[in-house]
Structure 1
């Protein structure tokens, strides 16, 4: 965190007032370095990781120059995943609360295209989306970028890793040559350098070192004889270290699902997250893990990128990451907000090359520890909450308070029995203590929300 106040910037008074209301006073390092250049209209290449405050850095830049009276698409933010796009759009809307009649629209794959077409017909100021769905709308003539003034590529390295290079080129071909381009990337491989040369004009380069302090994270490495013994090792480590909330990282989608299935068979409360899942299943998985209804999330690096998930008790690397940056990003899921965390990594002799890369990148010598002895008294952790899905959401004008009211009106449940509530367009999710789930379902089925009966089920 820098000591530079937002008030030192040439931001509109309404934006500064909203920042003060949100409790944002001092800028993060990426904001302090990038915002003056962005506000000056320069192209920017910024190396910054998730959690560094980069969304507010480019978001305030977009909002400061926006002409809300001109109802055309003036800014486009491209993200690698729907989850990150939703997160970015939510942050932009929060930052834009003081700007009346602003419209920020999310265009992502994995969801029905019909509602997006309807929203585009009514226009928007800012589009946040994934490359594939954005190019689809552009090619069908439903979206125009002729009035675009700013293009943002968020987590550009991941977009290239996920194969979006051709889609990016197609989107850029539809954008005006005279524009401001902002490129944010956690890493800066050759592919990003080449992309930058094509897209940006005399860019200012900014690098912010890893924001997460890994000194609060205890790292343990365990060597196993071969790939066949990895799962047994993970089983034993989870029994000893998992806590109530853990993430397990795998390198492939197939491996992710296989590991999750095996852990489920062992009796663990576990969910998988990878690119082969339907979007609805991805959404439900994220909701359940984020609200404490599942104890373990097994994921690939790409699927876990940009997820809005708070600190977990422990991180397990089923396979070592391919580079130190990815390893640091993985383990940064634990030990946040001043808390201590633990990261446990499994490797074999064939991982010698990766070990050297990690040692060089992390600046530490890796010494394997012996696996903890088997202990029959240890059992998998169980979640204290369960998730109920309601067939009603934002489009039905349902608010979190309406759900709380429906569940607590009879006094049989209290606020203490409820956990996180998440609202989506056509459905909502509420976490409830497992011991009170049947009662909660009964109350919802017998009662009404906004005067209507709402179906509910447990995930």
Structure 2
């Protein structure tokens, strides 16, 4: 199948000739599907991963729309990290180099505030920035957005993961309602649906092939005998399949604690979630699992209800669910956003009738899997890539996600890619950082300042 050509889009002559000089002839799937809609001034949600060509899609859209003679901020692009904002700004400059006198300005945390003020005083056409710093400029009156006619949220899911919901709300509140809004995200989780419904007008949904494949969930059933045998098979499958993120479903609160303790005592990154936890304990458990600093969550169905966790590699049913609908709900938590998922269920002779009632295309009893070999018990427990820092300051102390990101990445600190999800509660905040730089991150916040103040910070063990 032939890929569509950029020349079919009827872009400004300066853009067309520049694309030709750059060697851009054919469009990627996300460009082919979204650009015609963007050029018609429609709101678009693009579900696409990094490397899909989405930057050129919205970059060409805003450059086509830009009136360079009108020296006002006409487009605002928000990105989760400084590195991505710099990359996007450079790509827009390269795409628009055939149009004279375009000014693209980056506003990112972790960079000195003063020079940005000076640049803003000289004006710009396009702002590319991180939500925390852009919101700070808006709040201080150094950035006015009343002339913006195109708003782009790039990697929106990552911005929400990093705790920028409040900053985004504040910024969007200053942008005219009569505008075009483009939202690009690798996933289309509930949070994304909510923000899209609130800020977009009849958006067109675009999914590239890499994200709209049918969900592929492989189900495996293992026959076991007693409780100890279930634990043994659990360790074998964890060693065999090495899932980065796993939920183990148990039918009772007592069992969740027993399984979590058994795994934790043997070096696994595992924690229990059930109804007897206090709210702060539940918050901490969920934060650590969502930000991938804990690999295994052992939970009851009641405790796990309402969880919105993306990129779940595997689900394990330590016991078969008592109802078919519950089994379907458990299994459906893996294999989201087009990725492959793995669901493994353990059953004994007494549970065989429950397995039969699941009404699956396979015969789970006759086709039960052979358990992995004993050598998989020797495989070291997977160590999470991330570590969580707890900061004893939150919403009530006016701590914002941008403050934390700036403290970590400023003054030649961490790269933005080393910082994961940021969760802010009333009196504390949690930030995930790559485990290999956790010590440096801890030192950065301990030695530095948030909101001009020092806050106690510690790494959560386990």
Q: Deviations over 1:60-92 (max 9, x none)?
A: xxxxxxxxxxxxxxxxxxxxxxxxxxx9xx99x
Q: Deviations over 1:302-335 (max 9, x none)?
A: 1111112113111111111111111111111111
Q: Deviations over 1:235-263 (max 9, x none)?
A: 11111124211111100000001000001
1:416, 1:94 → 2: CA distance? 20
Deviation at 1:98, TM superposition (A): 8.3
Q: Say yes or no: does 1:389 pair with 2:390.
A: yes
SS of equivalent to 1:442: helix
Higher RCO (Cα < 8 Å, 6 or more apart): 2
Match of 2:197 in 1: none
Contact 2:215 2:339 in 1 (8 A): no
SS of equivalent to 2:396: helix
Deviation at 1:226, TM superposition (A): 2.7
Match of 1:316 in 2: 316
Match of 1:299 in 2: 299
SS of equivalent to 1:217: strand
Contact 1:242 1:314 in 2 (8 A): no
Deviation at 1:416, TM superposition (A): 2.0
1:311, 1:256 → 2: CA distance? 22
SS of equivalent to 1:218: strand
1:337, 1:301 → 2: CA distance? 22
2:393, 2:239 → 1: CA distance? 38
Match of 1:452 in 2: 453
Match of 2:234 in 1: 234
TM value normalised by structure 2 = 0.53
> CA 1:94/1:399 → structure 2, altered by over 3 Å: closer, same or farther?
closer
Match of 1:365 in 2: 363
Task: Give the total of aligned pairs.
Answer: 264
SS of equivalent to 2:256: helix
Q: How does 1:191-340 map to 2 (within 5 A)?
A: 216-340=216-340
Q: How does 1:375-414 map to 2 (within 5 A)?
A: 375=375, 377-414=378-415
Q: Say yes or no: does 1:424 pair with 2:432.
A: no
2:219, 2:411 → 1: CA distance? 48
Deviation at 1:215, TM superposition (A): 5.5
> CA 1:214/1:23 → structure 2, altered by over 3 Å: closer, same or farther?
closer
Deviation at 1:423, TM superposition (A): 1.4
SS of equivalent to 1:358: coil
SS of equivalent to 2:248: strand
2:44, 2:291 → 1: CA distance? 24
1:455, 1:385 → 2: CA distance? 20
Contact 2:423 2:429 in 1 (8 A): yes
Deviation at 1:437, TM superposition (A): 1.4
Match of 2:118 in 1: none
2:456, 2:331 → 1: CA distance? 39
TM value normalised by structure 1 = 0.53
Q: Which runs of 4+ in 1 moved over 4 A?
A: 93-100, 212-215
1:213, 1:353 → 2: CA distance? 33
- Greater gyration radius: 2
Deviation at 1:439, TM superposition (A): 1.6
Deviation at 1:230, TM superposition (A): 1.0
Match of 1:74 in 2: none
Contact 1:247 1:298 in 2 (8 A): yes
> CA 1:383/1:422 → structure 2, altered by over 3 Å: closer, same or farther?
same
> CA 1:414/1:99 → structure 2, altered by over 3 Å: closer, same or farther?
closer
Deviation at 1:231, TM superposition (A): 0.9
Contact 1:324 1:358 in 2 (8 A): yes
Deviation at 1:225, TM superposition (A): 2.4
Deviation at 1:410, TM superposition (A): 2.3
Deviation at 1:365, TM superposition (A): 2.1
Match of 2:344 in 1: 344
> CA 1:388/1:379 → structure 2, altered by over 3 Å: closer, same or farther?
same
1:414, 1:377 → 2: CA distance? 35
Deviation at 1:427, TM superposition (A): 1.1
Match of 2:151 in 1: none
Q: How does 1:38-49 map to 2 (within 5 A)?
A: none
> CA 1:319/1:424 → structure 2, altered by over 3 Å: closer, same or farther?
same
Deviation at 1:394, TM superposition (A): 1.7
Q: How does 1:23-102 map to 2 (within 5 A)?
A: 23=45
Match of 1:46 in 2: none
Contact 2:293 2:387 in 1 (8 A): yes
2:252, 2:225 → 1: CA distance? 21
